[in-house]
Chain A
């Protein structure tokens, strides 16, 4: 019986994962961020408020950037915060 239960949980886990539906835009960040060991900075060490602050600085032009300034301007503060929370939660998953 336990074996069947494990199977059931496995079947449902993906649904659970997708239930935390990514906030708008969050999945697109993974077009550049997410593979360790490239020249692009990994976000995995950052907490959600660090991501949100970085995005706010990029948006305001308060932090030097090659491309993040142009991208951050496409997101409002609430949108950015939702993305930061989701990214941080996902990146820190074991």
Chain B
């Protein structure tokens, strides 16, 4: 077992003397080793913050290229190149983080090691899991790995995003597009409604005889009034929204017939986008940190698993109380998680977090809206700070909406620079 440095002693040492309290060799040997699994917004950000905090960090990521989901709805809209969504790990590697491209397949929380698909085993003092989501192919009758090629979810960005874009482009003017939206919880609560808005905008401007039917397994959703006002204003007659109460819940999909079955009806589409139910990335269950819901319960102060010691879970995979599953939240949790890990490995108590989330949505070009929240531990969860946060004002000028769209773009630049940049 690696011995971690007592941080306070180390600092006292440096302040008291510039000579011999610690020999470099000893320091090198005793740097605590932290493994991060998953190089998305959560994992990449955490690796960076842990490294800045003096840990020896190994980041295990399955793919050499990361394709970001935020703003991928604009790729589907046809107004953004997927190249702008794509990032590598060179910046992290250059900063001194050990990058391992490969899939983690096992976690032994007793022996504290991670097994890779290629048979290698890596030991850790603490582990951070940030595997994002997996699609639950067992949850929606008719939906499967084969079905996703016909009815793309595009809920992991990359080939799925491009597939949906191409299908929309290839569709005849007059064709019907169908979207199926799941019940909570799922990645990016406002994401489906942003996508519906942007598909409607594409149809309005490029396929004016077409229609979009949005089938939802719920009756209420994030930024609902803002979205619905905008739909009325801009997409009346194009976008038809069917909530749970009107039979919006998808019960089955039939890819061979391009049909979505709901409690009340059958809908046939020329393009069908199924956003299926999800769970934490499979490695979470393999590590024993996912509960029966498929997600990972965590301590709201340390973001440590409630099920296994020395394992922290951040980002979409975690049950983060009132915090939504967003890139913004994953990044905020990552930075706090790093502080908690550094403190705990130094034998100190973890600081208590206060976290922010903001999700911007683009409803049309130059038309952005947002929802913000501030969170802190209360009653065992990350709870909303009372009387804070909320959505953009309902009555705002076009200039205000344009300003938020510009801020959304700036946010993407900032967050991806933090996670993947060279800075």
Interface residues of A (CB under 8 A from B): 4-5, 7-9, 11-19, 21-22, 24-25, 27-35, 38-40, 66-67, 70-71, 73-75, 79
Question: Which residue from chain B places its CB closest to the CB of A27 in the assembled complex?
Answer: B335
Interface contact A35-B24, CB-CB below 8 Å:
no
Give chain A residues whose Cβ lies under 8 Å from the Cβ of B13: 12
Give chain A residues whose Cβ lies under 8 Å from the Cβ of B387: 73
**Contacts A24-B351, A31-B415 given; does A66 touch B400 at CB 8 Å:** yes
Provide a sorted-by-A list of 29 A–B residue pairs whose CB atoms are within 8 angstroms.
Answer: A9-B14, A11-B22, A11-B28, A15-B7, A15-B10, A15-B54, A16-B11, A16-B14, A18-B7, A18-B342, A21-B339, A22-B351, A24-B352, A25-B354, A25-B355, A27-B335, A28-B335, A29-B356, A31-B358, A38-B414, A40-B407, A40-B410, A40-B414, A71-B358, A73-B387, A74-B356, A74-B374, A75-B385, A75-B388
Interface contact A70-B7, CB-CB below 8 Å:
no
Min C-beta distance of B343 to chain A, whole Å: 8
Interface contact A8-B336, CB-CB below 8 Å:
no
Interface contact A73-B404, CB-CB below 8 Å:
no
Q: How far is the CA of A30 from the CA of B335 in the complex (A)?
A: 10
Question: Which residue from chain A places its CB closest to the CB of B414 in the assembled complex?
Answer: A35
Give chain A residues whose Cβ lies under 8 Å from the Cβ of B328: 31
Min C-beta distance of B77 to chain A, whole Å: 20
Give chain B residues whose Cβ lies under 8 Å from the Cβ of A9: 14, 18
Give chain A residues whose Cβ lies under 8 Å from the Cβ of B409: 38-39
Pick from B28, B54, B356, B418: contact of A71, CB under 8 Å: B356
**Contacts A31-B411, A38-B414 given; does A12 touch B356 at CB 8 Å:** no
Question: Which residue from chain A places its CB closest to the CB of B360 in the assembled complex?
Answer: A67
Please provide the chain B residues from 1 to 58 with a CB less than 8 Å away from any CB of chain A in the complex: 5, 7-8, 10-11, 13-14, 18-19, 22-24, 27-28, 31, 51-54
Cβ of B276 within 8 Å of any chain A Cβ, yes or no, is no
Q: Which 5 A-B pairs have the closest CB atoms?
A: A74-B374, A74-B388, A14-B54, A38-B410, A24-B354
Give chain B residues whose Cβ lies under 8 Å from the Cβ of A33: 414
Interface contact B11-A19, CB-CB below 8 Å:
yes
Cβ of B167 within 8 Å of any chain A Cβ, yes or no, is no
A-B contact count (CB 8 A): 150
Cβ of B353 within 8 Å of any chain A Cβ, yes or no, is yes
Interface contact A74-B385, CB-CB below 8 Å:
yes
Min C-beta distance of B302 to chain A, whole Å: 14
Pick from A8, A15, A31: contact of B356, CB under 8 Å: A31
Q: How far is the CA of A71 from the CA of B409 in the complex (A)?
A: 19
Pick from B332, B385, B392, B414: contact of A34, CB under 8 Å: B414
Q: How far is the CA of A81 from the CA of B76 in the complex (A)?
A: 43
Interface contact A71-B374, CB-CB below 8 Å:
yes
Interface size class of B (residues with CB under 8 A): 35 or more
Interface contact B392-A27, CB-CB below 8 Å:
no
Pick from A17, A34, A40: contact of B53, CB under 8 Å: A17
Give chain B residues whose Cβ lies under 8 Å from the Cβ of A7: 24
**Contacts A11-B24, A70-B389 given; does A31 touch B53 at CB 8 Å:** no
Cβ of B159 within 8 Å of any chain A Cβ, yes or no, is no
Give chain A residues whose Cβ lies under 8 Å from the Cβ of B335: 22, 27-28, 30
**Contacts A8-B27, A17-B52, A74-B388 given; does A30 touch B418 at CB 8 Å:** yes
Give chain B residues whose Cβ lies under 8 Å from the Cβ of A25: 354-356, 374
Pick from A11, A21, A24, A70: contact of B388, CB under 8 Å: A70
Give chain A residues whose Cβ lies under 8 Å from the Cβ of B351: 21-22, 24
**Contacts A11-B27, A15-B5, A74-B388 given; does A31 touch B414 at CB 8 Å:** yes
Give chain A residues whose Cβ lies under 8 Å from the Cβ of B28: 11
Cβ of B331 within 8 Å of any chain A Cβ, yes or no, is yes
Q: Mark B319-337, 1 if CB is under 8 A from A, else 0.
A: 0000000001001100110
Give chain A residues whose Cβ lies under 8 Å from the Cβ of B339: 18, 21-22, 27
Min C-beta distance of B261 to chain A, whole Å: 40
Interface contact A70-B390, CB-CB below 8 Å:
yes
Q: How far is the CA of A32 from the CA of B376 in the complex (A)?
A: 19
Give chain B residues whose Cβ lies under 8 Å from the Cβ of A71: 356, 358, 372, 374, 388-389
Give chain A residues whose Cβ lies under 8 Å from the Cβ of B413: 35, 38
Question: Which residue from chain A places its CB closest to the CB of B406 in the assembled complex?
Answer: A39
**Contacts A29-B356, A66-B370 given; does A15 touch B411 at CB 8 Å:** no
Min C-beta distance of A8 to chain B, whole Å: 5
Question: Which residue from chain A places its CB closest to the CB of B358 in the assembled complex?
Answer: A67
Interface contact A67-B370, CB-CB below 8 Å:
yes
Give chain B residues whose Cβ lies under 8 Å from the Cβ of A11: 22, 24, 27-28, 31, 54
Q: How far is the CA of A17 from the CA of B54 in the complex (A)?
A: 9
Give chain A residues whose Cβ lies under 8 Å from the Cβ of B224: none
